[in-house]
Chains A and B, each alone.
Chain A
């Protein structure tokens, strides 16, 4: 029953989900902090930084999502069908969040009237909660094997919100440092540490929920293939908090992303070889070999062509090379 091609495609699918969770998470996290920035004049500076931090990369993130979904329906049509037939309400809510967010992010740049501006901020912030929660809730419903909105979905959704807020704050520290805004460095540093505590608390509770709802999954997370990734998350999250606490601004962003990526991996590996625990394995759901080969070829081209291009984009961006001149 071992099917290396299908396993490879499943791994690529997991990579796409991970990429969206981390890159998208940073972005949605910024949106969450926008929501919590409050109303008065003191909210202006954090908001401006958030705006600024989001502009260049955000539409690239959607591509990960699209890639994941295309991989899913082409590579694993049966999984796609059962997941969508059962979870369409959750996906719809996540999507509504996604487009509202995009639309109102644009709108707040053109809203002149302060009340309209405030409304735009609010919709933007709230939709930044909606999307990560409901996408992760879908993963929770898959992980339980029941494809229903229950404790597992809520647990996954909450972990996702906490992780998103954590990574958003951690990256905003970086952006604030780049511009030398010391007040904002302090502002987001405190929030990153706070979000870290929340993430650890909710993460632990979520493990408990997984234990109750899907003991087999918990077992392979704590005693099977998932273990290294669970450990990585458990070590890296406090480590990032410590670095920020001590104001040692090195590696913290890479470690944030690695920690959150490990969380996604922990789930993915722990439920292999099942795509839907107890119901559908990777090889049962897999499309014919020829299709898998094409998908893997596409993935290879992606890595070869897009990898360097992405790296270039992030490099230019991080060096500030993409700034307009001081007009």
Chain B
């Protein structure tokens, strides 16, 4: 019996790593999955109403990327949903009736997305332009609904609510309360903006590279300007919304907030520490401390009292390593957000004052990096959220260690290794495919024409036997 318990404990580490790895991989696909349809439709709209064939070509190419990436998202997402059962069966058994609600809505949304993406993609030739555009209009709301569902489930883990528990079992669920928990308010908007920002920067960064390589025609300008303008407009908004999130977790999820700010003891005039790390005795090393700024940010007054880590029992707050991860991740997110805001200001300044696109090489070099930067910011944000919740899987209610599977540790390590290998293969195939597509499109732009979707495994068919 004892050895069983030891084994169960050992599965905790690989299970956490596996969950983190698969979620972090899946979330890379989400920004383009949710927001690329909107960008594509915008481009298609420009093409239809301004009678611009170049815009239509761009839209059509983006829709191919959308489809390939949806397929990868579908596979990695399916893995995730099984993982909840394989890795955390007791979490699902206890709270599935509440935690699962968001996913039921997500399931509905993805269903719509999967079907309409197929029709949209295959319909380029066969549907009339306006009918095709109308089919496409179903995609953004479907993506939105899906993101809502997942975020609702995640928010429930952070600020659980809407359940009545009797002797350990959920006996009643208030559906609306369980779907709309406190954390959803800030997580949803912050994440939604992150998705559109990221999609904008990522897509634009491809054409920033094209600019650096010397391509400066209408095609390149249009494909760069539309997504970059959207991202640039959203970035400042994101900083404000992120600030609201931070203030909200200070009261809703105080242990997470203490980790974010590496605050050891509860105090007023709390400094804001940039960089740096904390050790087991609460000493902060390195880093720049700005006196009283944290208190000021939270309560608009240096006298605001901020709770420290020591005000939570040692087994109910993130451990030192986790605290440092959270703090670093938060700083990376905020740092990248600020850098993005500066780049956006540069862009908007030139766009609005001079009514043209920037012409500086440095601008395009930075723009080329903005895509990767946004992905890193999104990952950092999630690390802040998830690691900051430790040691709870359901905040204050169920510990990660009580939810984990009884499977032997070796089993989980093995499946983790298998998944890492297979995901690496998928990433390799995915990138190779995109590069091949890009090469083919470049060739076509210099002459030969074919349907953009030809040769895409998830796209429309080529005629067999040719």
Contact = CB atoms under 8 A, between A and B. Distances in A.
Interface string A285-298: 00110110111001
Interface in B435-466: 436, 449-451, 453-465
Contacts of A92: 86, 411, 415
B84 interface: yes
B104 interface: yes
A66 B118 contact: no
A83 B86 CA distance: 9
A306 B118 contact: no
A70 B103 contact: yes
A316 B122 contact: yes
B414 to A, nearest CB: 9
B115 interface: yes
A95 B94 CA distance: 24
Contacts of A88: 85-86, 89, 405, 407, 411
Contact of A73 (B78, B85, B116): B85
A84 interface: yes
Given A291-B101, A327-B451, A48 B465 contact: yes
A45 B364 CA distance: 48
A324 B461 contact: yes
Contacts of A85: 89-90, 405-406
A316 B120 CA distance: 12
Given A77-B95, A291-B101, A324 B460 contact: yes
Contact of B464 (A48, A96, A305): A48
Given A59-B114, A325-B125, A327-B451, A107 B429 contact: yes
Contacts of B456: 109
Contacts of B126: 316, 321-323
Interface in B150-190: 170-175
A10 to B, nearest CB: 15
A106 B122 contact: no
Nearest to B77: A66
B96 A55 contact: no
With most chain A CB atoms within 10 A of its CB, the pick from B94, B115, B426, B458 is B115
B92 A81 contact: yes
Contacts of A49: 464
B90 A81 contact: yes
A254 interface: no
B171 A288 contact: yes
Interface residues of B, number: 80
Nearest to B436: A110
A66 B107 contact: yes
Nearest to B433: A110
Contacts of A105: 457
Contact of A71 (B104, B110, B175, B462): B104
A70 B123 contact: no
Contact of B175 (A56, A77, A291, A309): A291
Contacts of B405: 84-85, 88
Contacts of A57: 118
A294 B101 contact: yes
Given A63-B107, A74-B97, A109-B455, A55 B86 contact: no
A88 B425 CA distance: 24
B429 A106 contact: yes
B107 A67 contact: yes
Contacts of A141: none
A310 B115 contact: yes
A103 to B, nearest CB: 5
A60 interface: yes
B247 to A, nearest CB: 32
A65 B77 CA distance: 11
A313 B86 contact: no
Contacts of A74: 96-97, 100-101, 103-104
A312 B120 CA distance: 12
Contact of A294 (B112, B175, B455): B175
B98 interface: yes
Interface string A271-309: 000000000000000011011011100100110011001
Nearest to A16: B107
A261 B100 CA distance: 27
B430 interface: yes
A62 B463 contact: no
Nearest to B452: A324
Contacts of B101: 74, 291, 294
A106 B114 contact: no
A325 B173 CA distance: 53
Nearest to B406: A85
Nearest to B432: A110
A67 to B, nearest CB: 5
Contacts of B78: 62, 65-66, 95, 98-99
Given A70-B103, A84-B92, A295-B104, A106 B84 contact: no
A181 interface: yes
B363 to A, nearest CB: 34
Interface stretch (B68-76, B227-235, B392-400): B68-76
Contacts of B72: 102
B96 A80 contact: yes
B65 interface: no
Contact of A109 (B79, B81, B97, B457): B457
Contacts of B449: 327
A75 B92 CA distance: 11
B108 interface: yes
A244 B341 CA distance: 66
A59 B67 CA distance: 10
Contacts of A81: 85, 89-90, 92-94, 96
With most chain B CB atoms within 10 A of its CB, the pick from A295, A301, A321, A324 is A324
B226 to A, nearest CB: 26
B362 interface: no
Contacts of B89: 80-81, 84-85, 88
B122 A59 contact: no
Contact of B93 (A55, A62, A80, A316): A80
A234 interface: no
B84 A73 contact: yes
Interface in B102-149: 103-108, 110-112, 114-116, 118-119, 122-123, 125-126
A69 interface: yes
A224 interface: no
A73 B407 contact: no
A305 B142 CA distance: 12
Contacts of B90: 81, 85
Nearest to B119: A313
Contact of B85 (A80, A89, A109, A291): A80
12 contacts: A59-B70, A62-B78, A92-B86, A95-B82, A103-B426, A109-B456, A110-B429, A287-B173, A291-B173, A298-B108, A306-B111, A325-B451
Closest 3 CB pairs of A and B: A81-B93, A74-B100, A77-B96
Given A62-B74, A85-B405, 13 more contacts: A52-B462, A55-B461, A59-B118, A63-B114, A66-B81, A73-B96, A74-B103, A84-B92, A85-B90, A103-B75, A287-B170, A288-B171, A322-B122
